[in-house]
Amino acid sequence: MRIMTNILTFKKSAGNQPIDVEVTHGEGMFTAECEALHLVTEADTFEALTERVWKLAPDMIDANELGIDPASLRLNFKFVQSAHDHLLAM
């Protein structure tokens, strides 16, 4: 006897999962940290920071022999703000 269900399963492509980049702002600078890429960098604006990360990512992949295809790289920029940072900004 064959049992039918209405549950569908989807396989996620392990090679194309977004990599988290944590972004913080303090003392007039935006900072990006990404453990997966072994990357830390700064810039004056959020837009400049994301461009800098995209520019550095292929070099970090190569230098650290991470086995990631730079052409299929997906980054998830996560802006993190502490209560202390929020109060300082007010």
pLDDT recorded at residue 34: 98
| 6 or 60, greater pLDDT | 60
- Residue 3 has a pLDDT of 62
For residue 32, what pLDDT band results from cuts at 50, 70 and 90?
A: very high
Q: Which CATH number fits domain 19-89: 3.90.226.10, 3.30.2390.10, 3.30.70.1340, 3.40.50.880?
A: 3.30.2390.10
Helix (H, G, I), strand (E, B) or coil at 81: coil
Q: Give the pLDDT of residue 62.
A: 96
As a whole number of angstroms, the distance between CA 32 and CA 40 comes to 6
Domain parsing of the chain, residue ranges: 19-89
- Cβ contacts of 25 within 8 Å, gap of 6 or more: 31, 46, 79, 81, 85
**pLDDT exceeds 50 at position 6:** yes
Say if residue 5's pLDDT is above 80.
Answer: no
| pLDDT value of residue 69 | 94
